Amino acid sequence: MILVEQISFKVHQIIPPSRIHQEYLLFRTGHLGAESEQKQKEREGGMSRITEDTKIQKSVFVFVCLMLLMSALPLKAAEGCSSGSYSIGSSQALYLICLPSSWNGDLVVFAHGYVSPTLQLAIVDYVIPPNNTPVSQIITGLGYAFATTSYSDNGLVIPQAVDDIEALVEQFPALSGFTAPKHVYIVGASEGGLVTALAMEKYPRLSGGLATCGPVGDFRKQIDYFGDFLVLFNYFFPGVLSSLTEHNETPTPEHIPVELLGEWTEIENAVDIAVKANQSATSQLLQVSKAAADPNDPLSEATILGILWYDIFATNDAVEKLQGHPYDNSNRWYSGSNNDLLLNLKISRFHADSTALYNIEKGFQTSGNLLGPVVTLHTTEDPIIPYWHETLYNLKVLFAGSLLQHLNIPIVRYGHCSFDQNELLTAFSILSFMAAGR
């Protein structure tokens, strides 16, 4: 069963090996580095779509070219890594710290993605194609110290993850035995992308942030995106999920039957049979939900199963931690089906609780008021966390007066966090250039 965030990296198993699994989306779609020649051309062309102040573009062009050449050089191995636990108030989290053989004095702290609340705390060190190099080795190979945390809890932990990151930075000298870093950069993926953006709005000690494939635009809309997909799936494929429960209970954005949490393989098989048997319903589901379609699969099973994974494993935890039901489609008009009137008359409706909405606004929404430079990296056809987050975040940054502190880099590709090493190094190089002198 796959219980770690479904991002298109692999997972380097650190503490302990039995607890971490290769994420689901890569398991379904294969190695993301094996692109066709046409896809490689699209990826390279995607860099030309960077939209930001033209003065910044011209300033970084030569610098980026040089860093791209540097990224092709072999990475040096880390001198050594240490791991253990550290305290955040009354809570505990695990940490991993790695130092290069020749440290440049700066620290990169990594914020990982969503981990199922059913798992125990563990360190996750993603590995990046095309060579499956661990993030920790990439960072130390550039001369930076690397640090990451399990966070003090799994599941929906974004506000506390921001504070867990700050506590790790503060305790770095004591945990590592080295002096305090001159500069601290934060890099995060998916849920960690939002952690990164929020940290850059809260902690001035951070020199810059690279937020990849995160729900940085509007977290409530992300909740509704997941919830809409589940109610639409139940409408177009009635009984498929409920038939796997003991009492034929339909999973909803308010509650997932507990037995489904242990039946992911059965869910995969049932969904596979259903979408192949009713391709018209499959097409309508994708059209109405506006989820990104897999160009290599007419049925887009990776999209359907990818979103359903979050619905199954994240819903109950979100309801508990937000202290109420966050999903609301009471006034939503759905369109794109063969019969929109019938769809809107018959689809299940839900109302959000005010407490849950308040908690989202308090701890999960970005403001765009940046205390330092932030680069966001996002695939344009992300089925899990849609690219429209970047458009919304651009507007927030603009209205907050932080426009020159932010640069979005779109990668024209299908998949969640489907980046290769060169793309990530290019984005980080731009970030370090923007942060120069801080």
Domain match, 16 and 84 both: yes
- The residues facing 72 across adjacent strands are none
Share of the chain above pLDDT 90, in %: 80
Mean pLDDT throughout 171-180?
97
Q: What pLDDT was estimated at residue 377?
A: 98
Domain match, 245 and 209 both: no
Which pLDDT band holds residue 437 (cuts at 50, 70, 90)? confident
- The residues facing 93 across adjacent strands are 86
- What is the average pLDDT score of the chain? 87
Token pair 């690219």 is found at: 387
| Separation of alpha carbons 224 and 37, rounded Å | 36
Mean pLDDT throughout 253-268?
97
Under 8 Å between Cβ of 430 and 375: yes
Residue 87, pLDDT > 50, answer yes
Residue 46, pLDDT > 90, answer no
Structure tokens at 412: 């024209």
In order of 108, 124, 198, 206, the CA distances from 186 in angstroms are: 6, 16, 11, 7
Q: Enter the DSSP assignment of 406.
A: E
Out of 340, 360, 380, pick the residue that ends a domain: 360
Q: Which domain holds residue 238?
A: 220-360
Q: What is the CA radius of gyration of the chain?
A: 21
Task: State how beta strands 374-381 and 406-414 pair.
Answer: parallel
| Separation of alpha carbons 111 and 143, rounded Å | 19
- The residues facing 188 across adjacent strands are 111, 211
Residue 5, in any domain of the structure: no
Residue 197, pLDDT > 80, answer yes
Cα-Cα-Cα-Cα dihedral sign, residues 382, 384, 386, 389? negative
Model pLDDT for residues 10-23, shown as the tens digit of each residue: 444 333 332 323 33
Mean pLDDT throughout 216-236?
98
Residue 274, pLDDT > 90, answer yes
Domain match, 148 and 162 both: yes
Domain match, 153 and 224 both: no
Mean pLDDT throughout 173-186?
97
Considering only 4-18, 152-166, 380-394, 412-426, which range has the smallest mean pLDDT? 4-18
Domain match, 24 and 162 both: yes
Domain count, the chain: 2
In order of 21, 32, 110, 230, the CA distances from 26 in angstroms are: 11, 7, 20, 22
Out of 360, 382, 403, pick the residue that ends a domain: 360
Q: What pLDDT was estimated at residue 28?
A: 32
Residue 319, pLDDT > 60, answer yes
Sheet of 78-88, strands arranged across: 78-88, 91-100, 145-149, 107-111, 184-189, 208-212, 374-381, 406-414
Mean pLDDT throughout 188-199?
98
Q: What pLDDT was estimated at residue 15?
A: 33
The alpha carbon of residue 319 and the mean position of all alpha carbons in its chain are separated, in whole angstroms, by: 20
| Separation of alpha carbons 28 and 30, rounded Å | 6
Residue 2, in any domain of the structure: no
Residue 145, in any domain of the structure: yes
Residue 27, pLDDT > 60, answer no
Domain match, 136 and 211 both: yes
Domain match, 154 and 27 both: yes
Domain match, 194 and 124 both: yes
Residue 68, pLDDT > 70, answer no
Domain match, 396 and 306 both: no
Residue 162, pLDDT > 90, answer yes
Out of 322, 338, 360, pick the residue that ends a domain: 360
Which pLDDT band holds residue 147 (cuts at 50, 70, 90)? very high
Residue 403, in any domain of the structure: yes
Residue 40, pLDDT > 60, answer no
Domain match, 111 and 259 both: no
Which contiguous run of DSSP H or E holds residue 97?
strand 91-100
The alpha carbon of residue 402 and the mean position of all alpha carbons in its chain are separated, in whole angstroms, by: 23
Domain match, 253 and 211 both: no
Instruction: Compute the 3-state secondary structure of the chain and give helix, strand, coil in percent, each to the nearest 5.
Output: 45, 15, 40
Domain match, 415 and 349 both: no
Q: What pLDDT was estimated at residue 4?
A: 54
Residue 58, pLDDT > 50, answer no
